[in-house]
Structure 1
Amino acid sequence: MKLLRNREMYISLMLMSFISCVAALCTYLFYRELVLPVLVLCALFIILHIVPSYIKYREIKKLSADIDKILHGEENINLENYNEGDLGVLQSEVHKMTVRLREQQYKLTQDKIFLADLLADISHQIRTPLTSINILVSMLSDPDMTYEKREQTIHKLYGLLSRIDWLITTLLKMSKLDAGTVRFHREDVTMKELLEKACMPVRVPIELHGQELILVSDGEFSCDIAWSCEAIGNIVKNCMEHTPDGGTITVSGSCNPLYSEIIITDSGSGISEEDLPHIFERFYKGADSGEKSGFGIGLALARMIVTEQNGTVKAENGQNGGAVFTVRFYKGAV
């Protein structure tokens, strides 16, 4: 009998049988006429013990089998049929554990897919400038190359190496934000000082393209200055890359009791309707991205930085054409 293979049930049954035999023997010695009723009563007690135990252990065995199926990857397992006593409590806890394990498994699967796609994107983004670098290096080995041509080639090499360095640095910053290891330190700063500092790295390229940068600022607010400058600077850089030579980029900042707002506009052709939903995605580049556009991670990094500081960033097209980026840092919970 399978039930007797259970050590607990075997000991319990043997103990009850021993007690029944002792009771029957004592009854036989002192009250022989009650031997049969005592044996019947003892047998009834044993049956009443075995039957519920058998049902309980059968349910436990079924639950164990279902758990084993879940561990082997089966999805369509119903754990809602166990609803009595302590077994029901056990079922409830196992069900919670199963749901949690499935969620973790799904998240791990998504993380693996994301990591694979990320590595593919990174390798693709780095391979392009590396290919150009290999070509330029092979050109430098030409002994007949003129001095002027050699200088131009070296200048191109420096530019490509700078792009790769910027890509790696930005990816490291995004990795820190993804891992949650960045600690933002809030400092009080005037809007004018923040915008001046954020736009400083792009002032020279803007002048080289003959573009005009207009800064309008008012008020002050609290933020992590370094990271906020990184976010705003990336947006301004994106506007510069999509604004024609001689165009205008306007950065205006203001504050109110609810939030601090920075609006960045350009006089370019704007953002296509197909690109708008994906503009802040990592490595996304629109169909009209030109040669001077970046790797498609500047805006993604900007959104991560703003979001981590209880803010929002939105991209849209202006009424008079051109792109409009609205950044808001909220002073309370959004």
Structure 2
Amino acid sequence: MAAGGPPVLVVTRLDDVTADEVITELNRRRVPVVRLDPGDFPREITLSCTFGGTGPGGTLVTASRTLDVGNVRSVYWRRPTPYTADLALEAQAARWAVEEARYGLGGILAALPDTHYVNHPWRNRDAEYKPAQLATAARCGFTVPPTLITNDSIQARDFITNHGPVIYKPLRETECTDDTGRSLTVWIEDVTPDQIDSRIRHTAHLFQQRVSKTADIRLTAVGDHLTAVRIDGSPGVDWRRHYDALTYSPVPVPPEIANGVRAYLDAFGLVFGAFDFGLAPDGGWHWYECNPNGQWAWFPDHITTPITHAIADQLQHREGSA
């Protein structure tokens, strides 16, 4: 296979094993790759970009690569670390520097000319809002469980009483740690009326009727390439807590689900999406959510390999680009 051509830019942190799968495949195809983590700016990245009548030009220089910002084939936007500032700066100056980096370097990375994004970071951002997801899923024809977002304890108790059983779901997977730096996760949990108290006033909370299900389904969409996997074996409502107990079986995608997925991706301008469904006893698929940048590399090789190839195809051949 011939080598060369403009590089693929992979925007992610160092320990992203999902991106590693795609980079390995691109290397096998001899497609040039530049890996960059915006969180390394300005410590390990030097930026020089010009704008004029011909569009942006200039370079991004990392410890091992020099990227011509006017000559990028495609961008695989995965999971970069947060922007940082020089530790010597005092707090207010550091906050200012971080925002300048976000709107400077981040703005450049989002404005590369004639470049195919999987996904564009601003499309990822828009598609991460649960209320927008719920509204769009309903418009696209998915079966959406009754859902309430509130900070009113009376409304929450009434909803749980009238729609039980009900689960609580975080509105965003926000990174947080304890006093020792250990990562913390807010899991999906069953919730009862007596668990609701005045503390609910402090922020927005999402409550959703729990689907009576026989299994979970993760559908990974890469353009028109759809990979649906039935997930069995979870003893609780959140299968992510029980990976060791899970089994995976590829399943066909019903035509109405495929049509809904296509419409959903188009609505948000996405190329990639990781959709979660509950499989009801009657065979119906109940929509839970779509993570525009969800994980998939933990599946067995016979499932991950086709997904890897589909993403590499998008990045190599710019499928779906204007």
* TM-score where L is the length of structure 2: 0.26
More strand by share: 2
Greater gyration radius: 1
More helix by share: 1
